[in-house]
Amino acid sequence: MNTYQTLLYYCYSPIHNAEQFAQQHLDFCKSLNLVGRIIVAEEGLNGTVSGTKEACAQYMAAVHADPRFAKTDFKIDEVPEPSFIKMHCRYKSEIVHSGLRDPQIIDPNKQTGKHLEPTEFMQMKDSEDVVILDVRSNYEHNVGHFKNALTLDIENFREFPEKLKELEQYKGKKILTYCTGGIKCEKASALLLKEGFQDVYQLHGGIIKYGKEAGGKDFEGECYVFDNRVSVPVNSVNPSIVSTCRNCGTVTAKMINCANPVCNEHFTQCDACGEKLEGCCSTTCMEHPRKRHYDGTGYYVKIPQPVNTEKISKRKHKNFPSKLEETH
């Protein structure tokens, strides 16, 4: 029986003294015994929190009672257990890292793509003059994406502006952007408009809302989420799995972090290879002296690690998915 809930949300709204607000908000969340991850910046809130239904109801009521966040749209999942282990609420320069910090250039409160409700998105996505654009990172769209979607080779959303030249060829088409919960599309669509794209739309509420209100039709695979569930099914109409095990090629939707904390690579791995390699991406990592215990989930509480300069150098030359740096 699902006695807990997980809330996914964001709200672009100016917050003065955001760093102080982040500490106060953390204390409030802890008072409700919530767990999760929230990012606070001068531009607003971005979070996923989990707890009892009563605690989640109190949290949503408190957020909506604040005039700054009254428009917040919560995506609610019923879950059998909390989706996090700890509660974090951190102050950062942006609520989703894009490198587009100047509100004079990009301000989602002033201009974004036209918001499409899930059923509107479903009706428009197969038109000939439409390009469905996935603005998420490699490790996200590798585990699941819309049928016929255009995906970008990026490791983090902050690389999105670098891909605009590749999108120039689609300027005469309708661009339908989508992401997990909608937050990345707010800035991605705004940037596309600024760069001269005329007909830009975004899926309101993202993949998660599309699954709840449109049955997830034509979303292939599962949706990557930023908690210990890692990925969730969204398609109840024509479901499929598109990702494969890195080690053996078996079709699987399971994503883990390598049990070697120095590597910590994020990748898909089937249960058989997970058991054989003890949750590692390779035999080399399996033999590492700091290897973590693999409990079958591949999800670990993040602890500070020394900077791996060799890995950073390697990422510059090949597609090498990284540990989570974003939230939906």
- The C-alpha atoms of residue 146 and residue 140 are separated, in whole angstroms, by 12
b/e per residue, 73-86, with b = 16+ CB within 10 A? ebbbbebeebbbee
Q: Which residues on neighbouring strands pair with residue 36, listed in sequence order?
A: 49, 87
| Pairing of β 219-221 and β 144-146 | antiparallel
Phi, psi torsion values for 89, nearest 5 degrees: -140, 105
Residue 11 among the catalytic residues = no
Give how far the C-alpha of residue 217 lies from the chain's centroid of Cα atoms, to the nearest Å.
20
Give yes or no for a contact between 183 and 94, defined as CB atoms under 8 angstroms apart.
no
Q: Which helix (H) or strand (E) holds 311?
A: helix 309-315
| Structure token pair of residue 49 | 């929190």
The total of other beta-carbon atoms located within 10 Å of residue 3's CB is 11
> Among 11, 56, 179, 223, which one carries the catalytic annotation?
179
For 319, residues 6+ apart whose C-beta sits below 8 A from its C-beta are 138, 153, 155
Angle at 142 (CA atoms; ends 48, 115), nearest 5 degrees: 55
Contacts of 65 (CB under 8 A, 6+ apart): none
Residues annotated catalytic, as ranges: 179
